[in-house]
Amino acid sequence: MCGIVGAVAKRNVVPILVEGLLRLEYRGYDSAGLVVVNDKSLERVRSTGRVAELAEKSLKTNGTIGIAHTRWATHGVPSERNAHPHTSNELIAVVHNGIIENYEELRSKLTGEGYIFTSDTDTEVIAHLIHSYYIKNKDLLKSTQSALAELVGAYAIGVIAADNPDQLIGARKGSPLLLGVGEGEYFIASDMSALLQVTQKVVYLEEGDVVALALVGYKIYDAKGGAIERPVNISELNNESVELGEYQHYMQKEIHEQPQALADTLESVCNSQSLVPGIFGAEAANSFAQINRILILACGTSSHAGMVAKYWLEEIAGVPCAVEIASEYRYRVSVADPETLIVTISQSGETADTLAALNHAKSIGHKHTLAICNVPESAIIRQSKLRFLTRAGPEIGVASTKAFTTQLAALFLLTLVLAKQNGRLSAKQEQAHLHDLRHLPSAVLAVLKAEPEIAELAKHFADKHHALFLGRGLHYPIALEGALKLKEISYIHAEAYPAGELKHGPLALVDSDMPVVAVAPNDILLEKLKSNLQEVKARGGQLYVFADSETKIHSSEGVHVMQMPEHAGFLSPILHTIPLQLLAYYVALQKGTDVDKPRNLAKSVTVE
Ligand code: M6R
């Protein structure tokens, strides 16, 4: 969701800005733009198309300092006039991620002062506000700090001034922004993938930080305005990890990266002989000893991981667990229980609703917090007491795939650690689970071999408008995840139900035009599920069943069965996710949709 790149260098920065935006495309956007200072004036180029179009339009643009942006519309429709950068009086230019909540108030104040607005965005108030200070003090840093003091809301910004070709200001509060350190050149960006082209050295800015970049170096100021040092880190990301390689889409690449992502996530555990709370942080043993229930907060796919974990935590660890959608929890009046562990799950670690839910939980008195996240240094990681980093690597496709299965792996580890603490895991059981976890990457690899078969099945969905997904128990959240994947990237309306609910309403929808996808592991609910499938078959529904080999469900008229290679016991939800991801991917290919950047969606949802 929205992306920022900025650079100050001795060379023309336009190619760096454009390449940076290309690498941020995955975040989701509907317009793009850049501005550079050239001969003491601002040269701005904007476009409502793809970044490639912006690149075409800016071929002749040249400057050694500049800022660029991909916009995902919040205030004002996607259009060139609403695209960033926004300028004030040809002097100040601003790019902005986030939402300024008091923009209407500021807009009328600035209008009263004679400022003319040319867009419908909240961002334009920032440009005019900085301008109103800058014309008085000619100090870009101070003007930006004064303007920021008037803003209510979330922001990451980049600012330049036409008459100041050697200074770029960046600032963050509530939206991610980092600083890239090159050889005599400096950069800002919303995430590191934009900067790998120029540097591996990164400084993670803290909440409220303002940074002033110049050719001679940079200076960081904290929320109170005092100069502060922040550590320079070497990013673990490399160019290869964000490149497509042999694959057609990032989603396909990321589906295939799951065996490695799981192996990396489980590495420390699988190499040891026993499970210890320390994998969740130094204070985990102490925290875990004080809690007796869990509340999981997350959005979208991450919340589905939480729903699977609820089954594991209650059955294996004997810990009561509730799962709540973060955007609901943050506004609900709830009762804080000091013995509850708050677990937030997030691929990006920057999802506004999940972050706000975490802070809400803390504000009402929850002191035990654990983040399961894929991005080190993300806000959710930094604001939680305990943490587990999934090691899925960068996930570029908007549809979450490897992040989900690695979240499940992390949650299974949490379950085992708590089960052990609660005396519910014998040494023999612990070894058996460790064995299954070591085997997991190769079990996933075996499922991926079914790709051609699933690509064939997908053809049956291409002309459909609706689909129903069924699962039971542990696999009901997997049905939800399968439906979310399908609707997200193929735009087919898909719903998921616990199969037992079928006859309480959704059965009315079933006819020969309604594909019904069933997740059918060989577990204790199998016979119940088989009866539910009969109910569908009897109404002429077309069944697509992902069945473990021992289930004895076979293809017949109207029943298409894909045999899963093995039943993985408690880890079965991870294996059963894979074919549903592949199904969604191949249906989207059939329909010719933009798989990695589905319409209206953003990768990292940093606004409410
Ligand atoms: O980064 P997060 O895991 O916090 O993101 C949460 C959701 O926005 C995300 O899972 C979304 O539902 C995905 N696009 C689903 O594929």
Ligand 1 pocket, residue 488 CB under 6 Å: yes
Q: Crossing angle for the helix pair 427-448 and 572-591, nearest 10 degrees? A: 20
Atom of ligand 1 nearest to the CA of 354: 4
List Cα–Cα distances, 196 to 4, 14, 19, 191, in angstroms.
Answer: 14, 16, 10, 10
> 150, 57, 130: which is closest to 89 by C-alpha?
130
Ligand 1 pocket, residue 346 CB under 6 Å: yes
Q: Give me the phi and psi of 597, to 5 degrees please.
A: -130, 65
Atom of ligand 1 nearest to the CA of 605: 8
- Protein residue with its CA nearest to atom 12 in ligand 1: 300
Instruction: Output the pLDDT for position 75.
Output: 74
State pTM to two decimals: 0.80
- Protein residue with its CA nearest to atom 9 in ligand 1: 300
* Neighbouring residues of 350: CB distance < 8 A, sequence distance ≥ 6: 175, 176, 375, 378, 379, 380, 604, 606
Instruction: Output the pLDDT for position 15.
Output: 97
Which residues of the chain fall short of a pLDDT of 70?
1
Q: Which helix (H) or strand (E) holds 43?
A: strand 41-47
Q: Is 2 a catalytic residue?
A: yes
Instruction: Output the pLDDT for position 536.
Output: 82
Q: Is 270 a catalytic residue?
A: no
Q: pLDDT tens, 531-544?
A: 888 888 888 888 99
User: In the structure, how many helices (H) and strands (E) does the chain have?
Assistant: 18, 25
Of 253, 385, 464, 603, which is the active-site residue? 603
Gap from CA of 605 to ligand 1 centroid (Å):
8
Instruction: Output the pLDDT for position 1.
Output: 65
Instruction: Output the pLDDT for position 240.
Output: 73
CB 481 within 8 A of CB 304: yes
CB 474 within 8 A of CB 502: no
- Protein residue with its CA nearest to atom 4 in ligand 1: 346
SS3 503: helix
- Cis amide leading into 515 (omega within 30): no
Q: Give me the phi and psi of 196, to 5 degrees please.
A: -60, -25
Q: pLDDT tens, 580-600?
A: 999 999 999 999 999 998 888
> 45, 136, 146: which is closest to 93 by C-alpha?
45
Ligand 1 pocket, residue 258 CB under 6 Å: no
> 333, 324, 5: which is closest to 192 by C-alpha?
5
Instruction: Output the pLDDT for position 455.
Output: 97
CB 407 within 8 A of CB 305: yes
* Neighbouring residues of 435: CB distance < 8 A, sequence distance ≥ 6: none
- Domains in the chain, please, with CATH? 3-234 (3.60.20.10), 250-448 (3.40.50.10490), 451-591 (3.40.50.10490)
Atom of ligand 1 nearest to the CA of 351: 4
* Neighbouring residues of 594: CB distance < 8 A, sequence distance ≥ 6: none
